[in-house]
Chains A and B, each alone.
Chain A
Amino acid sequence: MLSAYLFLLAVMVGLVKRNGKVVSAISAIASAAVLLEATGSIPQLSLQADELSRFFLLLLGTAGVAVSIYSYSYMRPKHLVTAAYPLFLLSMELILLSRDFLQFIAFWELMTLTSYVLIVANYTESATKRASLIYLVTMQALNTAPLLLALGYTYALFNTLSFETLKGNIPPAWVLWLFLVGFMTKAGIFPLHFWLPEAHPVAPSNVSALLSGVMLKMAVYGMLRVASIFPNTSTLATPIIILSMATIAIGALLMLVQRDLKRMIAYSSVDNLGYIFLAFGAYLALHGTLKTVALAALLLHSFNHMLFKNLLFMVSGNVLHATGRKDLGLRGLGRNMPFTFALSIIGILAVSGVPPLNGFVSKWLIYQATFLSRSPVLIAGGVIALFGSAVTLAAYLKMYRIFTGEPEGEVHEVEAPMLVGEGMLALLCVLLGVFPWLGIKLTGTDIGFEIDMPLLTIVLALFSGMLFIALPPRGRRDAVWTNGERVEDFDILPEHMYYPLNHISEGLSKVGSSAGKVLTRVGGAVTSVEVDYIDEALFLPPARLLRGMIALLRECPLGVMIVVLLLIASALIWGWLG
């Protein structure tokens, strides 16, 4: 529990000193302590946690270290942010360490609240206000409320909320549905994904990274926990698979038409959580080896998504930090920000599942779990997943484009700590891609076969490298070739890159926004209802009568007092006697 105390220390420092650097440093150390405790490398500090919690603690610790190092240079002390940041990390650690649902839900609510505080960091912008309203209300209505009801009913049924003693009990299906709705909302699964692309982009980038990379995984953890406790969770498999298919498709297609870098990355989170839930559906639906493969895929993709999504959000933070902009119309940043450029290439390739990076490994496992299942829905899910993967690359190429070309203005590379934090994750992206067994060992599953990534990577590197050495590039520098027109005038805008396909995405987003409009209109109708003194209206006649009587009595207020006091006195005497 050393890490928890360190986080508390950081909270105190954040409250009192409001110094972002100190808080980040302590948080980084605390996250490292989480890693140490979760791996059990120091027996005295080892935590009481099962394999599932341990895995997610590793995920949290890794993200915590990298993001906190990044925050050292990035975090600006604004209202409670410095205290909320370590408290957010702490709440997630404690969620993972909870051994019963009562603690779980308490820390869960704490996580929601602290994340709200972090999201409203830039509270002067109207987008932030809107997003924070949507976020907290959605969480309260569709996340906390269903979970509370589910847990209340579970407690009513089994008279316990401890994971240990609940195990093996069979709750009614609707309780499982409540759990599912609650966790789906947090994970941003269709149709409850709408808050995610609003809330994640407005937060400071280090927070967006944690929200996407870690907080969404808490929902995955929660679902896995529920699945590990209640044996009848497998009834949810088909709905989960179908919803996750829709999530992948919608996340991917909407990612394609975004003009804001962070919003695009947020939609990519929706997409990737779809993959994770698809694997979760497969895990629930399947038996035998494939079940293990699905579990490995689910856990590994959670971890991998944390790695590259944190990396990408932090890179978007670099861009924001350097230019003050986050639209995809930026150009030419690569020249002055070479490290950011290199890191973002790794992130882009990893999120697109390109070998030999980590995203490929977990997607590969997901395809195995789905395509080999012989179940129609799962195979359809696999097809959608492959489609999503192709679209992801397409969307992220827009992010790649902001770095290429000639610089437009003066920008500078960001401070070293930010790059170090990102570099750690990028390194892990490559390592877990080239040596998949590292990741699979981390998940603690035995999938029964080897993934020959090292060999594939060697082949790839060998031939690319050999050719590079045999025929090294040479030549001279010259201008871009055109027919005489100015390059800038005929540049293809990011939103026109995939114009033949845009109408699909635009249609989708139109449907989404009109659904939003309908909801807003309904909301407007509800909020315009004037509810005031219903009781006065209900009891108008007797109230009038009373008022009339009182008006009579009001002529002599002292008299009223005397009468009442006399009444009280007589009642007292009566009480004395009787």
Chain B
Amino acid sequence: MRELFPLTVSLITPLLDGVARKIRARIQDRIGPPVLQTWYDLLSLLEMESIRPVESATFRIAPYLAFGSALTMLFLIPWGEETPLRTPANVIAFLYFFTLFSASVVMGGLSVRSSYTASGASREISLSMVFKPAFAVVIAVLALKTGSLDIASIARSVDFSPSVVGAYILLIYLTYVEAGFIPYDIAEAETEILGGVLSEYSGRALAVFLWAFQVKRFAMLWLLSAMLVLPFASGIGALILQSLAVLTIFVLMVVYESMNARYRVDQALRKGAKALAAGSILLVLAFAGW
């Protein structure tokens, strides 16, 4: 049963993207495409043939591996009471499957000699070098406070001391960043470097990649919702609340997104450095017992 959640959700994620497009259109005073538009896009891309700029196995496998790792991330987060895959320290595993996702995206992009994919890849990795440690700081604060690296048990045993509240705020920010919302969609940056890492992908391969990105975005949001909901709810109610939380967060983030324009990579990195600094202060607070 619990194994089915991630699978079903992966089918829903394009729908969420459709919702986002609708909201964005409304804010920008447009009618916007139908909610199912992302699905239509994906389906039509799946039918198209892809163009390979290079004879490379990594180029071909990368989208599938990215999809697999995004889905595995979903398996590591609690769904209500249950976590589909129980492993110790699953927040670390989650983080590293995220790394696998990034690695496959970047290695797929870098397997072509193109300045667009290369700049997309280096941006993606530059961002991860700043935001991963920020994420690590959040984990550190929570682990220090709860003595656990398991998402569910962290969420269940948090006390809302100043440092934990700060860590939550930082987590929300990081989720927003890692989910790739504007102004942090720097690695893809359709309007600037034509999709960045993805610019050489087309047709079916592109569809798989886009889908994987949506699943990853959902995984980040779902992690946040689990962290927000599980301290207060349990049982089947937790799952329902989590779903509602995801929807709310998603909508809020989309609204915020549509009011922004993309950062340059160095601006984003500076923000990341600030987040890291804030996180370090939180860590010191947590050490001090607050």
| Interface residues of A, Cβ cutoff 8 Å to B | 331-332, 334-335, 345, 349, 352-355, 360, 363-364, 367-368, 371-372, 374, 376, 379-380, 382-384, 386-387, 389-391, 393-394, 397, 400-401, 404-406, 449-452, 455-456, 459-465, 467-468, 471, 473-482, 487-488, 490-492, 496-498, 500-501
Complex CA–CA separation, A363 to B88 (angstroms) = 13
Known A405-B54, A492-B119; further 16 A-B contacts with Cβ < 8 A: A335-B55, A354-B100, A360-B96, A372-B149, A374-B144, A374-B147, A376-B287, A383-B133, A386-B132, A387-B132, A394-B128, A397-B125, A463-B67, A463-B71, A465-B64, A498-B125
Contacts of B88-119 to chain A: CB distance below 8 A? 88-89, 92-93, 95-97, 99-100, 102-103, 106-107, 110-116, 118-119
Known: A354-B99, A386-B95. A464 touches B113 (CB 8 A): no
The 6 listed contacts between A and B (C-beta, < 8 Å) are: A380-B140, A387-B133, A474-B49, A479-B53, A480-B200, A501-B130
Contact assessment for B72 and A390 in the assembled complex, using a CB-CB cutoff below 8 Å: no
Complex CA–CA separation, A471 to B56 (angstroms) = 18
| Size range of the chain B interface in the assembly | 35 or more
Complex CA–CA separation, A362 to B204 (angstroms) = 36
Known: A474-B50, A500-B126. A345 touches B58 (CB 8 A): yes
**Residue with the greatest number of chain A CB neighbours at <10 A, chosen from B50, B64, B112, B132:** B64
Known: A345-B58, A471-B46. A481 touches B53 (CB 8 A): yes
Contact assessment for A475 and B72 in the assembled complex, using a CB-CB cutoff below 8 Å: no
Instruction: Report B278 CB to chain A, min CB distance, Å.
Output: 13
Contact assessment for A372 and B148 in the assembled complex, using a CB-CB cutoff below 8 Å: yes
Q: Determine which of A352, A464, A473, A500 lies in contact with B103 in the assembled complex, contact meaning CB atoms within 8 Å.
A: A352
Instruction: Report A134 CB to chain B, min CB distance, Å.
Output: 30
CB closest residue in chain B, given A479: B53
Contact assessment for A371 and B50 in the assembled complex, using a CB-CB cutoff below 8 Å: no
Complex CA–CA separation, A480 to B205 (angstroms) = 16
Residues on B with C-beta less than 8 A from A332 are 113
Contact assessment for A390 and B99 in the assembled complex, using a CB-CB cutoff below 8 Å: yes
B139 at the interface (CB under 8 A from A): yes
Binding site secondary structure of chain B? helix
Residues on A with C-beta less than 8 A from B139 are 371, 386
Contacts of B62-88 to chain A: CB distance below 8 A? 63-65, 67-69, 71-72, 75, 85-88
Contact assessment for B110 and A372 in the assembled complex, using a CB-CB cutoff below 8 Å: no
Known: A360-B96, A390-B128, A404-B113. A480 touches B107 (CB 8 A): no
Contact assessment for A452 and B85 in the assembled complex, using a CB-CB cutoff below 8 Å: yes
Contact assessment for B149 and A456 in the assembled complex, using a CB-CB cutoff below 8 Å: no
Known: A368-B149, A397-B107, A463-B68. A475 touches B51 (CB 8 A): yes
CB closest residue in chain B, given A385: B136
Residues on B with C-beta less than 8 A from A360 are 96
Known: A374-B144, A379-B144, A473-B204. A497 touches B122 (CB 8 A): yes
Contact assessment for A354 and B115 in the assembled complex, using a CB-CB cutoff below 8 Å: no
Contact assessment for B88 and A480 in the assembled complex, using a CB-CB cutoff below 8 Å: no
Residues on B with C-beta less than 8 A from A389 are 99, 132
Instruction: Report A445 CB to chain B, min CB distance, Å.
Output: 15
CB closest residue in chain A, given B115: A490
Q: Determine which of B69, B118, B135, B143 lies in contact with A497 in the assembled complex, contact meaning CB atoms within 8 Å.
A: B118
B52 at the interface (CB under 8 A from A): yes
Residues on A with C-beta less than 8 A from B208 are 467, 471
Contact assessment for B143 and A379 in the assembled complex, using a CB-CB cutoff below 8 Å: yes
Contact assessment for A364 and B129 in the assembled complex, using a CB-CB cutoff below 8 Å: no
Q: Determine which of B112, B199, B204, B283 lies in contact with A405 in the assembled complex, contact meaning CB atoms within 8 Å.
A: B112
Contact with A along B176-200 (1 / 0, CB 8 A): 0000000000000000000000011
Known: A353-B99, A456-B93. A500 touches B266 (CB 8 A): yes
